Structures are given as C-alpha cells and as structure tokens.
Amino acid sequence: MSAPLRLGIIGANPHRGWASRAHLPAVAASDDVELAAVATTRIDSAAEAAEQFGARNAYADPLELIADPQVEAVTVAVKVPEHFALVRAALEAGKHVYSEWPLGVNTDEAVALRDLAAQRRLHTVVGLQNARSTQIQRARELLAEGRIGRVLSATLRSASGMGGPTVAAAQAWLADAVNGTNLLTVTAGHALDTLAAVIGEFESLSATVATQFPEAVVADTGKTIPVTSPDQIAIAGLAGDGAVVTAHVQGASAARPGLVIEVRGTDGLLEITAAPSLAAAAIALRIVTDGDDAEDVSGRPDDSVARVGRVYADLAAAVRTDSPQGSNFDHAVRRHRLLDAIEQSSAERRRVEVPA
C-alpha cells in the first residue's frame, strides 16, 4: 500500500467553517491522506487544530504552510476571493491542490489555475463533492439499469436562506456578486453539478437571474447596503440525451429549505432529496414505478464528511497513478462556464448553447 499523501489545510479553524465540519474530520478518517500541517489566521487556533487533528505543524501564514517541505498537497478552504492567490502559490510551489468550490471568483481565474496546474503537471480536485455521494452514484446506476425507462425530464427545486432583506455583518460581503460567493455560484453550482452527475450535462438553456432584494440591512449595525448577488434563478433547458430540464433555485427562503430533484421516465419516477441542504443532510432516493408505492432505495446513508473523504481519495489516486481522477480543475472550469451561460442567457434574454 502506498504511503498516504501528506496534506496541508489552509483555513483549518477547528471551531467554525467548512473545514471544521468536513475537511478535518474527513482527513482524520482517511487512509489516503494524512494531515501534515494546518494554517489559520491566528497561530493559537492553528495550534489547537493541529493538536486536535494530529497535524505536525501549525502556521498563521498560509505561505509558510505552502513552503513546508513535508506538505505534498494543499487544501484551500477559505473565502472565495482568496482562492486564486493561494491556489496559484501552491501550484507554483509544486503542490497538488484541493480547492473548495467555486475555484475562483470568475471563469478567467478558474481557467488560469487549470492551465497552471496542467503546465506544472500537478493534480487537482475541486470541492464539488456531492457527485461522490453513494446515493448519487446509485441514482445514476438506477437510470442506467432502466428502472424508470427512458428519461424524459428532470425538475430541480432548491431553496435556501441566502439573500433577503437583512444580513449579518459577517455575511455582508456576500451581497456583492463580484466576490463570487452567492446563490448562483454556491447553491445553484452544487445543485446543478449534482443533477448533471445523474442525468448528464446541459446542451442548451434559457435562464432568468434576478435580485428581488437589491438592498439589505446589516442586522448588527442597521446600515443599508446594496445587493448585486442574485436571489432567484430559473432555468429551462435540454440535457445531452434530449431530456427536458427545469430548475428553480431561490434564496431568502426560510420555509422548507433543501433540494428536490425529480427525474421522470417512461416507466416511473426517481426522486432525490436533501433537507435542509446538500451540505447538511444525507441524500435520500425514492423510486416510483407505475402502480407501485414509493420504494426507498437510498441504501446506507452518507454525509458530507464521507463525500469529502472520497474527493481526497480521488486526489491521492491521481497522484499515485499520475492520472486525473474525479472532479478536477477541468471539471471546475466546465461548471464555471455553465454558470456563465446562465448569466448570459438572462442578460441577453435568449437561449444559449452550453460549452462542453
């Protein structure tokens, strides 16, 4: 058995954030990677994370972690506006990279990082982990087995509390779409990636992207700030096999948050659900065929820790075999271009082809 890939995690706060909920527990449970170093903005929290999760070194400067000779691969799990500089620094230092999604604040950043990784012959993955859920893999198998016949259509509904008339001070930066973290890039990005893992990619689409709350009040201060991030996304399109796809992703919604995907075929229906969100829940599968009651086909549940762990396994396998595995930076660029197509369609009020 190969030695585990030695990993450094940037953004490894042990008390809050996605790294504490998913990355650190996933690495602790993995045989494929081992935690060599952690970095946060404060040395005391970095040292605490190192002690709690068994890292050898702790840093308050992410560039010091990247320079650590014990680190073979770097995870970037910080705010999206910081991704580009840190991922670029890691690649330039010859490190393999796991970047959280979105890869950059826009497609130009994602393309630049993809190309740099290719030039340096380094392996990458991106944090679109829901396609690595056992339930999503099972959903794909059920369709391939013909359990609902020929796929005719898919409907996606997703609701979250992102956006709305008030915002906490710590989240106020999300109001500016330029920062690359909003309902379209995060909620819709993850949901549409999950859908594509089941039925395949969009070929063309028409979309409406709207901001129904163009201002928000910062709850902590009472200050009113402008909002350019969207809070409503509606899409109608065609998948590669001719299936008709509709999707509605809405923010500012506290009632029944979560994701529902219905895939309808000539012989039945496959329903995929996650509540209150893909990040915080197991994914459930139910299948309904003509004349039968709904059958739960979820199997053994998994969670975000397990899914992130499989992405780490993909990265370790890519390094070990020197062959791309899983959702790498090529895949990230494809997802960024899908989001661009959605925005283009909305801005130009026309149907657009989605780049392959």
Residue whose pair of structure tokens reads 């271009």 in the numeric block? 337
Residue that the structure tokens 């590669």 belong to: 240
245-268 burial: b if 16+ Cβ within 10 Å, else e: bebbbbbbbeeebbbbbbbbbeeb
Residue with tokens 């014990």: 70
What CA–CA distance (Å, rounded) separates 267 from 270? 10
Give the pLDDT confidence of 217-228 residue by residue, as tens digits.
Answer: 999 899 999 999
Residue 159, phi then psi, degrees to nearest 5 = -135, 140
Structure tokens at 163: 């956006």
Q: Please, are residues 236 and 204 in contact by the beta-carbon 8 Å criterion? A: no
Q: Enumerate the β-bridge partners of residue 16.
A: none
Query: pLDDT of the chain along its 356 residues, tens only?
Result: 689 999 999 999 999 999 999 999 999 999 999 999 999 999 999 999 999 999 999 999 999 999 999 999 999 999 999 999 999 999 999 999 999 999 999 999 999 999 999 999 999 999 999 999 999 999 999 999 999 999 999 999 999 999 999 999 999 999 999 999 999 999 999 999 999 999 999 999 999 999 999 999 999 899 999 999 999 999 999 998 899 999 999 999 878 889 999 999 999 999 999 999 998 889 999 999 877 789 999 999 999 999 999 999 999 999 999 999 999 999 999 999 999 999 999 999 999 999 98
- The angle subtended at Cα 336 by Cα 190 and Cα 174, nearest 5°, is 65
Strand, helix or coil for residue 92: helix
Which helix (H) or strand (E) segment is 7 a member of?
strand 5-10
Tally the residues of the chain: 356
Cα→Cα distances 297→94, 144, 266, Å: 43, 15, 19
Domains for the chain: give ranges and CATH numbers. 5-129+307-325 (3.40.50.720), 134-299 (3.30.360.10)
pTM of the model: 0.96
Residue 33 near residue 312, CB atoms below 8 Å: yes
Torsion angles phi and psi, residue 182, rounded to 5: -160, -175
**Which residues pair with residue 284 across a beta bridge?**
273
Other beta carbons within 10 Å of 322: 8
- 3-class state of residue 83 by DSSP: helix
**CA dihedral (155, 159, 165, 169) positive or negative:** negative
For position 243, what pLDDT does the model report? 97
Order of all β-strands in the sheet with 166-167:
166-167, 215-218, 224-226
- How far, in Å, CA of 175 to CA of 221, rounded? 15
